[in-house]
Structure formats: C-alpha cells, structure tokens
Amino acid sequence: MKPEATTLQISKTPNYAILIHERVNKYGDKVALRAKKNDQWEAITWRELGDKVNCAAKALLEMGLEETQMISVFSQNKPECTISDIAALSIRCVPVFIYPTNTASQAEYIVNDCEAQIIFVGDQEQYDKAISIFKSAPSLKKIIAFNPGIKMQGNDFEMYFEEFLGIGKKSDKDAQIKDRLSRASQEDLLTLIYTSGTTGTPKGVILTHANIFFQAAAHDARLLNPNENDVSLCFLPLSHIFERTWTYYALYKGMEIYYLDDPKKIIDVIKEVRPTIMCAVPRIYEKIYAAVFNALDSAPPLKKKLFKWAVKTGAAANNLKKDELPVPLGLKIKHRIADKLVLSKIRDLVGGRIRFMPCAGAPLSQEIEEFFYAVGIFVWYGYGLSETTATSTCHPPYHFKFGLVGTPLPGVQVKIAPNGEILVKGGNVMKGYYKKPKETAEVFEDGWFKTGDIGEFDANGELRITDRIKDLMKTSGGKYIAPQLIESLIGADHFVEQVVVIGDNKKFVAALIVPSFEALEEYARNQNIPFKSRFELVKHPDIVEFYRKRIDERSRNLAGFEKIKEFTLLPEELTVDRNEITPTMKIKRKVVAEKFNDVIDGMYGGGMPKRQN
C-alpha cells in the first residue's frame, strides 16, 4: 500500500476562483459540466465555463457589489449555481447557498442574516418565495432567475440569467476583477454554510479559501487517485456542505460533473450518467439495498440461493483485497463466476463503473456497508460536519474496519474528551459562526472544535461514532440510550423507510416507524392481506406482527434496555415541508415528539390503546 503523505501539498493559490481560471487554461475544450435540457445532456466546456464565470463576475461588478458582500443562491443543482458561485469569488464576494426546499421564512432568515445583495433562484418555486420576501429583506437589490421559463411579475429588480450574463458581456471591468484578485488571500471568507437547525436557529459556518485548499490536499493524500478522467454526479443539494465541497474538489481535479436538479430521480439517472466517483449520503445506499432485497423477496428459491452464494463469495474475495492479502486461485475463479452472474448486475444499478463513493452525513448500517463492498462498490465512509468543511475522518484505502468512520485525514487531529465528546483541530476547522461570537466561543476549547458527537477510537485507530450528545436519551430507570445506533439497525431493514426512537425519561424504548410502502404493499398483496389505504394497512394485526418480528430480529444484539418494546407504524413519511426533518434528512426530534405526542403517549399507556400500531 502506498503510504500517505505526511506533509500536505497545499496549494498557495490565494483564491479558489484563480485556481478555476488556471483549470480553464489547462483543460480548454474538455467538458467541465453537463446538465439535462429537453431530455439531452448539454455540455459546457472549461473554456465556456471560464467565459460565463467572467461575464457573471463583471455583471456583479456592474451591479455595484463591493468586496466581502454576499449573494445568495436559492436553487436546485444547476451549472448556473457553480457559475454564480465562482463569479462571486472572482470579485472577492461571498456566495451563500440556501436549500431549494427551504420555506420562504427560512430563506428570509438567511438572506437577512448574511445581508445578501442579490438572490439567484432556480425555478418557479424559489422565485415565488424570493418575491414574497423581497420587501422584508432590505439588503436585496436583485432577483436573478436561472430558468428562462419562470413567469416573472415584471419588476425592475428582476431579470433572467442570460440577461444578467449579457450585462457582463458588454462590461469592460476585466481590470477591476484582476485588481480585486490581486488583494486576495486564502484567509478571505469563501462561504457561509448554514446549519440545518435541528435544535434551534441555523448558524452561518464561516469557511475560508484556506479551508477548501487544505481539504483538497488532505483528500489528495487519502483518496485513490481521483483525476480529470473521472465523472462525478452532483445530486445532493449544493447547499449541503458535503456536495458543495465535493464539487469544489471535483473541479480542482478537473473531473466532468453532471448536475441533477431532482434528487428523487437519482436511481434512474445514475444508471444513465454512469459516474466513476460521486458523494452520497447513507439514504441512497439504503434505498438501493432495499430495492435489491425487495426484488429478491419474490425471487424463486434457486435464485435466492445463487444471490447469497455470490455475495458471500464477493465478500470473501474483496475482504482479502481490502487487507492486501492474496486471493487463492479457487476463490478467484468463484469470484469471477459470481461477478458475472450476480455482482456485476448489482453494480449496474449505480452505472457499472463506480471506483468509489464517498459517504457521510448520517449513520450507515454496517450490514449495508459490507454488502456494497462485497458486490464491488467501495462506500468510502467518513465523518465530519459543516464546521469541519465536511470531512474530518474517513476510511484509509486498505486495512479498515466496517462500521467505523475511519482515521483522521492527513493534517487533521482528532481526540476524545473526558466526557466522550469528539474534538477536532486542523486546517479544515471553521473560523466560527457568523455574527455569533458567544456561540463560537462555546464550541471551542483550547483551540479544539467541540463537535457535539460522542465517539471512541477502535484498537486500529479508527473512530466509532456513538451518538450526538444532544440526542442521547436517559430512561426513567437511569439507562443511557444512543438513538442513532438503534435507528441505524432498524433502518437497514428494506421494509423500513424512516424510524424515530423514543425513550428520554420514559420507562422503555419505543419507536415511530414509517414503512417502505412499496415493499410493504407488495408483501401485503402476496399474503392476501386486504387494505384500502395505507392508514388501514399499518393498523392490520398481521402487518404489526410482521414488523414486530423484524424489529426483534434486528435488535437481537442490543442490550435489553435498548430494545424497542413498543412501536407505532405511521401511514405517511416525515417530510421537510412539515418541518419534521431537515433538508439533510436529519430528524427534528423535538418537533416530531410534539406532533406525535398523543401517539407516543399511547405507547406508554397514557390514555390510548397500547401498541396502537
């Protein structure tokens, strides 16, 4: 195995936009970005990207943006997001992204907090929200719409993106761009990443150009040769720290990036784009895993037996490779057969040419991680937060253990405080929270960032995440419960879409469970279980017992006080629109507990029938 670099080769380029212009000169007519328009993937070359960025930067200057002022990007993933992003950096301004699914009030909070001068909007939904908050956002001067099909109201403060670029094309402010960049420093503010606000008001995480260049060097030292021949699919929201920093890194490496504006289409689009590397959150792997096993449930016995043999064979061969051990000839032959008959077909679900898939953002079941590695897909699991510019730890390329989140990135220090909290120090750590000195001081101790997560190091130096400090529950019997561990175990079941563990100050652990209705409805039909609605389905005694058995099986290795004693099946998903989960799919426990108070009370015998599910 090639040893990791002990000294990071950090770029001395003072501003990320300068690096992009260097890549424009290097790659020229090579394709940089692609997006689907009229059912065709349209390409933007590096040269075209450079021209659009330059025009957008000059247009921003024409609109009077001063250094360090901010713009907001409120859009689904589109190449225009990246063009606007780099254009703002080109004039030493600061791009701030807003989740495309945010409500008008959530967008208003961010716009006013960062005092955005211009807001770029993706489609009609974001435009309508931007219009509704314009008068209550005194800093806003313009609304610029990416989609030419948006129906505007005809205000003098709004325009389409092409019109905006036209202003830049006519501008002669090239010298002013050069002048601003001549004063650039890696310590300049690059962006604010607003936290998802699971426990309160979102905070703007201050990241600098230095943070991004440090992470680029650290990933160069850790990852397996990402390069300009790779293809990445950008589908997580660009407002998400993981996708944003990965997109910066992909451009830094000269990769070709496809933009997907509707994450719900990922399962189909990934087969079309056939990426070689892409970042994803555990929910994607859970969905693919569920789809595979749901299809397997109705397969004939011989096919099930072949599938299990193939996965077992793949695990045996790939685990030897992972530990850099020789694969015996007999196993090599079996593996080739297993791969041809079964494993390659599973890899085709993600396009068939994935080299590895960085993964972070939430707990990933060890069972699912092992399954993907067995079929030949390396889910490169890691850990980090917005405050640590995404990644702090991740698996080394070899000799890692499943279920852990890896070793610290080169140049990053991680330690465990006496209370079990994970502390991080390094060039990836934020400067603080925007306009929040008190909150900033609270999360730093002797130069170490306090993550709020609890963890421990394994004997091989890899980190294990136990839970969030704020999520830890204590039963009325005094036992501490880590809900994310239990949720990860139960959520790995392909009949489960979402799970929320309850137990704080309660006699025992209970749960709210949203079934995977596609799988459940098929099961019910196969078992001749009648139902007219999902509400009726989740109340059926046979369905409740079906889930009881599955929950008990998955909980078998938990301590008695950690096991789910009661549960309720919910007839519909928890959603962002109802404020039950964040845009990053994290549960808003307080909100859910309040909304389902009667149901929860019923599970503990508080006036409603027990096991109402």
What DSSP letter does each residue of 74-97 carry, written as one string?
A: ESSS-HHHHHHHHHHHHTT-EEEE
Whole-angstrom Cα distance, residue 224 to residue 396?
10
Dihedral over alpha carbons 466, 471, 472, 476 (to 10 degrees): -150
pLDDT exceeds cutoff 50 at 417: yes
Strands 463-468 and 448-457: antiparallel
Averaged pLDDT, 427-436: 97
Structural domain contains residue 308: no
Give residue 611's pLDDT: 38
Least confident of 3-12, 75-84, 542-551: 3-12
C-beta of residue 376 within 8 angstroms of C-beta of residue 318: yes
Structural domain contains residue 403: yes
In tens, the pLDDT along 315-332 reads 999 999 999 999 999 999
Give residue 258's pLDDT: 98
Q: What are phi and psi of 436, to 5 degrees?
A: -130, 70
CA torsion sign, 216 to 221 to 227 to 233? Answer: negative
C-beta of residue 27 within 8 angstroms of C-beta of residue 193: no
CB burial class (10 A; 0-12, 13-18, 19+) of residue 435?
A: middle
Token pair 């790659």 in the structure block, residue = 27
Residue 551 CB partners (closer than 8 Å, separation 6+): 490, 511, 513, 564, 567
Structural domain contains residue 464: yes
Whole-angstrom Cα distance, residue 227 to residue 11?
16
Whole-angstrom Cα distance, residue 478 to residue 342?
48
Structural domains of the chain, count: 3
In the chain, the amino acid numbered 321 is K
Q: Which long-range contacts (CB under 8 A, 24 or more apart) does 381-384 make?
A: 381/405, 381/406, 382/358, 382/406, 383/453, 383/463, 383/465, 384/241, 384/360, 384/428
Q: Are residues 443 and 555 in the same domain?
A: no
For the chain, helix (H) and strand (E) counts, in that order, are 22, 26
CATH code for position 450? 3.40.50.12780
Structural domain contains residue 261: yes
- Give the residue from 205, 200, 186 showing the smallest Cα distance to 384: 205
* DSSP code for 603: H
C-beta of residue 88 within 8 angstroms of C-beta of residue 71: yes
Q: Are residues 41 and 106 in the same domain?
A: yes
Give residue 2's pLDDT: 58
Structural domain contains residue 397: yes
Q: Are residues 456 and 513 in the same domain?
A: no
Q: Are residues 254 and 116 in the same domain?
A: yes
Whole-angstrom Cα distance, residue 370 to residue 289?
11
The residue among 405, 440, 468 that closes a domain is 468
Question: pLDDT: is 282 or 389 the higher one?
Answer: 389
Q: Are residues 410 and 478 in the same domain?
A: no
What count of Cα atoms within 13 Å lies in the side-chain half-sphere of residue 334?
A: 16
Whole-angstrom Cα distance, residue 530 to residue 523?
11
5 falls in which pLDDT band (50, 70, 90)? low
- Give the residue from 118, 60, 130 showing the smallest Cα distance to 88: 60
In tens, the pLDDT along 513-564 reads 999 999 999 999 999 999 999 999 999 999 999 999 999 999 998 888 899 9
Token pair 């901010």 in the structure block, residue = 70
Structural domain contains residue 506: yes
- Give the residue from 246, 450, 271 showing the smallest Cα distance to 361: 246
Averaged pLDDT, 592-597: 92
In tens, the pLDDT along 433-489 reads 999 999 999 999 999 999 999 999 999 899 999 877 777 787 888 887 888 889 988
Q: Are residues 447 and 482 in the same domain?
A: no
C-alpha distances (whole Å) from 208 to each of 9, 84, 279 are: 18, 17, 22
Give residue 281's pLDDT: 87
Give residue 609's pLDDT: 36
C-beta of residue 161 within 8 angstroms of C-beta of residue 119: no
606 falls in which pLDDT band (50, 70, 90)? low
Averaged pLDDT, 428-434: 97
Per residue in 521-538, is it b (16+ CB within 10 Å) or e — as a string?
eebbeeeebebeebeebb
CATH code for position 551? 3.30.300.30
198 falls in which pLDDT band (50, 70, 90)? low
Give residue 147's pLDDT: 97
Structural domain contains residue 328: no
Q: Are residues 384 and 436 in the same domain?
A: yes
Partners of 512 in the β-ladder: 500, 568
Q: Are residues 495 and 550 in the same domain?
A: yes
- Give the residue from 166, 167, 125, 127 showing the smallest Cα distance to 144: 127
Averaged pLDDT, 243-262: 97
Whole-angstrom Cα distance, residue 5 to residue 8?
6
The two structure tokens encoding residue 519: 């799988």
Q: Are residues 408 and 496 in the same domain?
A: no
pLDDT exceeds cutoff 50 at 404: yes
- The kind and range of the H/E element at 191 are strand 189-194
Q: Look up the pTM and report it.
A: 0.89
For residue 296, give its domain range: 282-300+343-353+356-468
The residue among 445, 468, 491 that closes a domain is 468
Interaxial angle between packed helices 266-273 and 282-297, expressed in degrees from 0 to 180 and rounded to the nearest 10: 100
Q: Are residues 109 and 73 in the same domain?
A: yes
Q: What are phi and psi of 440, to 5 degrees?
A: -65, -45
Whole-angstrom Cα distance, residue 93 to residue 38?
33
Give residue 3's pLDDT: 62
Structural domain contains residue 292: yes
Residue 235 CB partners (closer than 8 Å, separation 6+): 77, 243, 260, 263, 266, 269, 278, 280
Mean pLDDT of the chain: 93
Averaged pLDDT, 487-495: 90
In the chain, the amino acid numbered 567 is F
Give residue 608's pLDDT: 37
Most confident by average pLDDT, 165-169, 282-286, 364-368: 165-169
The residue among 441, 468, 495 that closes a domain is 468
Give residue 382's pLDDT: 96
Collapsing DSSP states into helix, strand and coil, what is residue 71? strand
Give residue 425's pLDDT: 98
- Residue 219 has a CB neighbour count (10 Å cut-off) of 21
Q: Are residues 381 and 477 in the same domain?
A: no
Q: Are residues 229 and 287 in the same domain?
A: no
